[in-house]
Chains A and B, each alone.
Chain A
Amino acid sequence: MAAQGAIASRGGLRSALPLLAPAYLWLTVAIFLPLSAMVFFSFMTELPLSGKPWAFTLGNYAAFFSQGLYLTLLLASLRLGLEVTLWCILIGYPAAYVLAKVLKGRSREAIFLLVILPFWSNGLVRIFSWAMVLREGGILDTALNAVLPFKINIDLMYSYPAVIIGLVHSYVPYMVLTCYLTLQAIDDSLIEAGRSLGASRLQVLKRVIIPLSMPGLVAGAALIFVPVVGSFMEPRILGGRTGTFYGTVIEDQFVAVFNWPLGAALSFILLAVVLVILALAAPVLRRAA
């Protein structure tokens, strides 16, 4: 069986080569080369393009370990990634469940469109819309004060919750989509079989549906966690002074301070940490799935 599969895939690979070649060529040019250049930069004292004399150094990596600030920010970013991922699961999974198992036909298409909509809007527009909603005297503040009999002050702008809200809004569609795909593949008769055996809806959810949709949850979590840990746009615009995270510091090195070597080194440290986390999580998640 396995041997047969190997032979089939080797034959398949040779005939698939012409199809794969353009993609790999593109990946090489567009990602691998710049990435190699970045690895190279991260070991330099100065950017060679700047005209100043330069030398090889480990100092950029050492900076991460010598200054506690970077580690603190990295931990804050990891926590941000974790929180955003959890919120995306809490919001996205039920939405995906309703889409896959409750709604049918037209209403499913309509709701699906609403879920995908943030995907299609420009990221900056999305973030600045939230700024209008969340600030003092903004839409949320005005609306709540119009309804509630007592006066409250809602000013979420430039706060940690604002960053969370903006990021969750941007990334929740990933969770909805990946979970929707796995949930839709679960046969309804499995749910009915569980119920007929005496399990409540909640027990069926816990013992059958969630284990079977684990691959979707894991894929969604990975798709969200990794970019959120390195995110800088939402923290900067919605977080203001509280929005300093690992990603914003990296961005600073590239666009403000022009210390590309340090920015590159910090990026690769982040990449390494994320890969280690994913590698550690993999066996646990595989067992759960």
Chain B
Amino acid sequence: MAGVQVSNVSRSFGAHKALDDVSIDFADGGFYALLGPSGSGKTTLLRQIAGFDFPDSGRISIGGESVERVPVEKRRIGMVFQNYALFPNMSVADNVAFGLSVRGEAKAVIATEVQRALDLVQLGKLGGRRPHQLSGGQRQRVALARAIVTKPRVLLLDEPLGALDKALRVDMQIELKRIQREIGITTIFVTHDQEEALTMSDRIGILRDGRLVQEGPPEEIYDRPKSEFAATFLGDANIFRGDTTGNGIRLPDGTAIAAGAGAKLAAGAKASCAVRPERIRIATDAGAPDTANANMLKGQVSKRIFAGNNSTYFVERAGQTLKVIVQNTGADRLAEGQDVVLRWSPESTVLIAAG
């Protein structure tokens, strides 16, 4: 087992910078999600770590030693591909045995290890089947068993659940997490599904156009996004843009929005504030002044989407549509067209420098 350090890695294809000075420290035994839209460089980064492709500049080390001159087969990594990449000419058991067999392990050792790996992914009885006789979820498990049976130092997964339907995906998320904990392997998991990244990983790195936008534990990125992109890509956010007042902003119509203590930007510059929809309280009148929820805006409900345990209100205000999510407490629901007052606390407001 080993951690992975990526330091100042850049990779261009022609004029296109697929990776631009990316540095990430993947902790030993951690579960790290690489999150980003399609084309942001996630696969490219994974391929540099695996050794299928090489950076133009920068360094990658696994377990503390540089792998610059180490070919793929010597890096001792396990990789799960988006299309599973199972060998169609081999049985499930032979697929899983492949890594041990090329290493020249004894037949008896291979047989027990393969059975153990198949049991771990709950496919103990399907060793004799061919890949094309399996369902998508089963193929995924075989691919995982094949990748971990060689006891690699790092497990790399490229959107492994992308091809599965929603219910199966949630099952596999739980399963994958269980297996990862059980063997304690350093795992780098590529996804474009923010929910998957939030629920599964100890740390998340957000990529955009080949750059690492922000990285940290899921809670930190969710609560304190450093850019509008991070705020809107990981979870939902209402974004207000205006001029900084030091610890908040002033909207074009003069309304002030205060951000949490500690937020500081030079006054006068352009900046934005981000607020999560579930942090906003919605009411039909202003009521008594509320010092805790000092930020206040008036608007009109344009739409309500009922989702069982909560409702999403779309509120029109000065040409902007705001999103508010309210838990279903059985209290009166607001009708479309209703004038409302929105309140939220400065602590729920993140001040983001423009740019």
Contact = CB atoms under 8 A, between A and B. Distances in A.
5 contacts: A189-B85, A192-B79, A193-B85, A197-B150, A199-B98
B163 to A, nearest CB: 13
A198 B79 contact: no
Interface string B69-109: 00111101111010101111100000000110011000000
A172 B99 CA distance: 35
Contacts of B147: 196-197
Contacts of B76: 198
Contacts of B86: 193
A211 interface: yes
Interface string A197-214: 111100100011001100
B52 interface: yes
Q: Main SS of chain A's interface residues? A: helix
A196 B77 contact: yes
B146 interface: yes
Contact of A198 (B83, B87, B88, B102): B102
Contact of B73 (A189, A195, A208): A195
B87 A190 contact: yes
A197 B88 contact: no
A192 B81 contact: yes
Contact of B72 (A190, A195, A207): A195
Given A196-B79, A197-B146, A207 B98 contact: yes
B14 to A, nearest CB: 12
A242 to B, nearest CB: 43
Nearest to A206: B102
A199 B79 CA distance: 13
Please classify how large the interface on chain A is, using the bins under 10, 10 to 19, 20 to 34, 35 or more: 10 to 19
B102 A203 contact: yes
Contacts of B52: 192, 195
B50 interface: yes
Nearest to A203: B102
B73 A193 contact: no
Contacts of A194: 87, 98, 102
Nearest to B76: A198
A207 B76 CA distance: 19
A211 B74 CA distance: 24
B117 to A, nearest CB: 12
A246 to B, nearest CB: 37
Interface string A69-88: 00000000000000000000
A208 B89 contact: yes
Interface in A140-198: 187, 189-190, 192-198
Contacts of B98: 194, 197, 199, 207
A193 B79 contact: yes
Nearest to B72: A195
A198 B103 contact: yes
B73 A198 contact: yes
B60 to A, nearest CB: 15
Given A195-B73, A200-B73, A212 B89 contact: yes
A226 B52 CA distance: 42
Nearest to A190: B85
A198 B99 contact: yes
B102 A199 contact: yes
A200 B98 CA distance: 12
B1 to A, nearest CB: 17
Question: Closest 5 interchain pairs by CB?
Answer: A197-B99, A193-B85, A189-B85, A196-B79, A195-B72
A199 B104 CA distance: 10
A101 to B, nearest CB: 14
A219 to B, nearest CB: 17
A198 B150 contact: yes
Given A199-B98, A212-B89, A189 B81 contact: yes
A195 B76 CA distance: 10
A112 to B, nearest CB: 24
Interface in B201-249: none
Contacts of A187: 83, 85
Given A190-B87, A192-B79, 13 more contacts: A187-B83, A192-B50, A192-B52, A192-B85, A193-B87, A193-B146, A195-B72, A195-B73, A196-B147, A198-B74, A198-B103, A211-B89, A212-B89
Contacts of A190: 85, 87
Contacts of A211: 89
Nearest to A195: B72
Nearest to A196: B79
B72 to A, nearest CB: 4
